[in-house]
Chain A
């Protein structure tokens, strides 16, 4: 009987110091199928794929390609076996053309001189065959993220890889692009390519995968045919218990305005133009306003301008009736602004400080934490941190004296959330508060955000995750190229409509 599996990973065990990342995992990828690998962050999906791609060596277990046992010691071995991978963070050189990126590493050449003509023809042919619509002479920095991803796909196809690994490919795409990607993946499978699709988004898996293997905390839970499984079943397999995928919340009761932004304009650091162009909006007490949009449409600069990390070119910001347009950051924070920053490592924590110091970063100067001679009251700081740790369930190796760097991403984020909420702010600005967190932590943070809203605070949420936008917010403002192009009600709009706004295909004139 002919072997029906393209890749078999049998009883793979991979340990890291103190943790078993993969514990006796078996996955069999059939030829021509799309096989999803589902699991929360930290479930061991990436480790398993890294083993397959030769980035790590497994302690136990074997890998078989077409029924024959193989050794994969580095990515070159994987390439030689026809295994290709689209990494989560693209491995593309931005100032090179699409073609250069595709041929890099396997350049057709005569005596070392590049021969691009044939390569170009081959790339165009492949692009045509799979409906990728790529321009080989465009520079990577000029094309959309979706196109960049297609360049990565073409890289694999150009190398005639048979097994394609997609590592969370949809995280960076718009809904329309995701749809197109799904179609491309189906085309590839129809042409006989075998696809491993890593994701924690259930509806995508349901839409595109033939079978799905689930990992949880490094262990193999099972493999199911996706057409026989419901999303709820898959979700329960993934987290081990039933999760409420949707945020429970009451109808919001907006009250007076807490934040009023008029005509905010912020310059771009990268380019000569403005990243935020005349944005006006209001946030009321008791509502969650969400700024939605694809990454890089000015959201970051908007938040920088609002929180004082960047000066405004133009515009006015009023917080609780007070003009804070030119106020320094500390003034803003003392006036009742809390900020859960986008980049928790850069703006959220001092990574090499212990947790207790991180908890008082904005308050260390208060009499409670500093005595009248200017010395820190360490005991008070420690007690305060212990209180937050207890109250917000922040888990760390050594409690308050744990160095922030050594904590997991989820707990770092929880610590920041605790610090920002415990300040009892008037306005909570949360920028991608759940980025990179697992389902449990996401649920927790969403609950905290809703709790703030219900306590009568204003919440401004900036998010790239459509589900989060739809679930948590009471009002959605879509940002596209630095402007607010639409105001939507999450109850009446659909993800597709939202996607059209986010991609700039649709816009309204919006007044604050």
Chain B
């Protein structure tokens, strides 16, 4: 039971962080389908930091450095989306899809190159972080508390305050709803959209490192992040682009994802004799069902996906 809670919370944390990333981008008017790729890049940044950080950093220093590295990788990678979609007005869906393919591929190549350079016989795309991972975990009884749970909670609060209580948030959302209106009162739409995309990269990168640290202690980069970026988009839609609702939605999806990890711990579920792969599919199936039923009344930011062109009035 505790294990289920633990997994639910950690997977929910991943989803919250990434969905909030999507939320910022979309509120600024840019659809960020590249979250999957951004997660991979964030994960790569964090994993490389864990691999190369000297032990002298200590647990706290390690946490900070890994998080910062993941954020920097995420932000840097998301700037691709910014350049293509904001400056060059490219189709956001296609750019996002390309970023997803590139993300996993590039990470695999980079890690393989590093591995082969240190040991010519090692052609795997795996990075191990058995010891480093321990820095992120605090054992409370048999419950493994991960600092990422706290970070996700902070992430929700920060996102809420920034979006609804600050000048920046008001302007950002105006750009996603009605960029011409924002422009007419002197708001630089391009700048705000860049801000949205970069914040999205920051959250996405964070979510990526959180994901690969969620259970295992090594990561094979060929695997990407198993569609979590897309799951997060579903969470964002289900959460109606609002931080608090995103958190709730993430908990639901996190729960189903967690089930697949721990269902064998529940005699009732085992007795049902359903193959494990069904449980693995569960979050994605739920995602489809939920979206099918909620998409109709969902209220996306009105101008999302439409490149802003100053000339069009």
Question: Which residues of A line the B interface, CB within 8 A?
Answer: 55, 75-76, 79, 87, 90-96, 100-101, 103-107, 109, 112-114, 155
17 A-B interface contacts by CB (under 8 A):
A75-B183, A75-B184, A76-B186, A79-B186, A91-B185, A93-B177, A94-B177, A95-B177, A101-B181, A104-B170, A104-B185, A105-B186, A105-B187, A107-B170, A107-B171, A109-B166, A113-B167
Residue B174 lies at the interface, judged by CB distance under 8 Å to chain A: yes
Q: For A50, give the chain B residue with the smallest CB separation.
A: B313
Size bin of chain B's contact surface: 20 to 34
Nearest first, the 10 closest Cβ-Cβ pairs linking A and B are: A105-B185, A91-B181, A107-B167, A76-B186, A91-B184, A93-B177, A109-B167, A93-B178, A112-B166, A105-B186
Residue B302 lies at the interface, judged by CB distance under 8 Å to chain A: yes
Q: For B181, give the chain A residue with the smallest CB separation.
A: A91
**Inter-subunit contact A106/B173 (CB<8 Å):** no
State the CA gap A105–B183 with chains docked (Å).
9
A322 CB to closest chain B CB (Å) equals: 35
Q: Which residues of A contact B166 (CB under 8 A)?
A: 109, 112-114
Residue in B167, B180, B299 whose beta carbon sits within 8 Å of that of A91 in the complex: B180
Residue B69 lies at the interface, judged by CB distance under 8 Å to chain A: no
**Inter-subunit contact B168/A104 (CB<8 Å):** no
Residue in B171, B174, B177, B184 whose beta carbon sits within 8 Å of that of A87 in the complex: B184
Q: How many A-B pairs fall under 8 Å by CB?
A: 65
A96 CB to closest chain B CB (Å) equals: 7
B168, B180, B186: which has the most chain A beta carbons within 10 Å? Answer: B186
**Inter-subunit contact A93/B167 (CB<8 Å):** no
Q: Which residues of A contact B66 (CB under 8 A)?
A: none
**Inter-subunit contact A104/B182 (CB<8 Å):** yes
Q: For B176, give the chain A residue with the smallest CB separation.
A: A93
**Inter-subunit contact A91/B178 (CB<8 Å):** yes
State the CA gap A76–B168 with chains docked (Å).
18
Known: A92-B178, A105-B187, A107-B171. 13 other contacts (CB 8 A): A91-B178, A91-B180, A91-B181, A93-B182, A95-B299, A96-B173, A101-B181, A105-B185, A105-B186, A107-B170, A112-B166, A112-B167, A114-B167
State the CA gap A484–B184 with chains docked (Å).
39
Instruction: Mark contacts of B156-199 with chain A using CB atoms, 8 A cut-off: 1 yes-contact digit, 0 otherwise.
Output: 00000000011110110110011011111111000000000000
Interface of A is mostly: loop
A148 CB to closest chain B CB (Å) equals: 12
Given the contacts A112-B167, A113-B165, A114-B165, A96 and B177 also touching, CB distance less than 8 Å: yes
State the CA gap A101–B173 with chains docked (Å).
11
Given the contacts A75-B184, A104-B187, A105-B187, A94 and B167 also touching, CB distance less than 8 Å: no
A174 CB to closest chain B CB (Å) equals: 24
**Inter-subunit contact B187/A55 (CB<8 Å):** no
Q: Which residues of B contact A79 (CB under 8 A)?
A: 185-186
Q: For A80, give the chain B residue with the smallest CB separation.
A: B186
State the CA gap A329–B266 with chains docked (Å).
58
Q: Which residues of B contact A105 (CB under 8 A)?
A: 171, 182, 185-187
**Inter-subunit contact A93/B168 (CB<8 Å):** no
A153 CB to closest chain B CB (Å) equals: 14
Q: Which residues of A contact B174 (CB under 8 A)?
A: 93, 96, 104
State the CA gap A109–B183 with chains docked (Å).
20
A286 CB to closest chain B CB (Å) equals: 44
State the CA gap A155–B187 with chains docked (Å).
15
Q: For A109, give the chain B residue with the smallest CB separation.
A: B167
Given the contacts A87-B184, A91-B185, A105-B185, A100 and B170 also touching, CB distance less than 8 Å: yes
Given the contacts A94-B177, A96-B177, A114 and B170 also touching, CB distance less than 8 Å: yes
State the CA gap A96–B171 with chains docked (Å).
11
State the CA gap A95–B181 with chains docked (Å).
13
State the CA gap A112–B163 with chains docked (Å).
11
State the CA gap A114–B186 with chains docked (Å).
17
A405 CB to closest chain B CB (Å) equals: 15
Q: For A53, give the chain B residue with the smallest CB separation.
A: B184
State the CA gap A490–B234 with chains docked (Å).
54
State the CA gap A107–B167 with chains docked (Å).
6
**Inter-subunit contact A106/B178 (CB<8 Å):** no
Q: Which residues of B contact A94 (CB under 8 A)?
A: 177-178, 302
State the CA gap A114–B165 with chains docked (Å).
6
A472 CB to closest chain B CB (Å) equals: 32
Q: For A100, give the chain B residue with the smallest CB separation.
A: B170
State the CA gap A42–B313 with chains docked (Å).
16
Q: For A272, give the chain B residue with the smallest CB separation.
A: B297
Q: Which residues of B contact A155 (CB under 8 A)?
A: 185
State the CA gap A155–B171 with chains docked (Å).
15
B183 CB to closest chain A CB (Å) equals: 8
Residue in B168, B177, B313 whose beta carbon sits within 8 Å of that of A112 in the complex: B168
State the CA gap A92–B182 with chains docked (Å).
8
Instruction: Mark contacts of B270-313 with chain A using CB atoms, 8 A cut-off: 1 yes-contact digit, 0 otherwise.
Output: 00000000000000000000000000000100100000000001
Q: For B164, give the chain A residue with the smallest CB separation.
A: A114
Q: Which residues of B contact A106 (CB under 8 A)?
A: 185
Q: Which residues of A contact B302 (CB under 8 A)?
A: 94-95
State the CA gap A113–B162 with chains docked (Å).
8
Q: For A92, give the chain B residue with the smallest CB separation.
A: B181
B173, B178, B183: which has the most chain A beta carbons within 10 Å? Answer: B178
Q: Which residues of A contact B186 (CB under 8 A)?
A: 75-76, 79, 105
B105 CB to closest chain A CB (Å) equals: 37
State the CA gap A55–B180 with chains docked (Å).
12
State the CA gap A94–B299 with chains docked (Å).
12
Within B219-271, the residues touching A (CB, 8 Å) are none
State the CA gap A94–B177 with chains docked (Å).
8
State the CA gap A368–B244 with chains docked (Å).
63
B199 CB to closest chain A CB (Å) equals: 14
State the CA gap A470–B224 with chains docked (Å).
67
Q: Which residues of B contact A75 (CB under 8 A)?
A: 183-186
State the CA gap A106–B185 with chains docked (Å).
8
Q: Which residues of B contact A93 (CB under 8 A)?
A: 173-174, 177-178, 181-182
**Inter-subunit contact A55/B170 (CB<8 Å):** no
Q: Which residues of B contact A101 (CB under 8 A)?
A: 181
Q: For A74, give the chain B residue with the smallest CB separation.
A: B186
State the CA gap A104–B182 with chains docked (Å).
8
B19 CB to closest chain A CB (Å) equals: 19
Q: Which residues of A contact B184 (CB under 8 A)?
A: 75, 87, 91
B160 CB to closest chain A CB (Å) equals: 13
State the CA gap A87–B313 with chains docked (Å).
10
B180, B184, B186: which has the most chain A beta carbons within 10 Å? Answer: B184
A94 CB to closest chain B CB (Å) equals: 7
Q: Which residues of A contact B173 (CB under 8 A)?
A: 93, 96
A92, A104, A106, A109: which has the most chain B beta carbons within 10 Å? Answer: A104
State the CA gap A105–B182 with chains docked (Å).
7
State the CA gap A155–B313 with chains docked (Å).
19
Q: For B186, give the chain A residue with the smallest CB separation.
A: A76
Q: Which residues of A contact B171 (CB under 8 A)?
A: 104-105, 107
B187 CB to closest chain A CB (Å) equals: 6
Q: For A108, give the chain B residue with the smallest CB separation.
A: B167
Q: For B187, give the chain A residue with the smallest CB separation.
A: A105
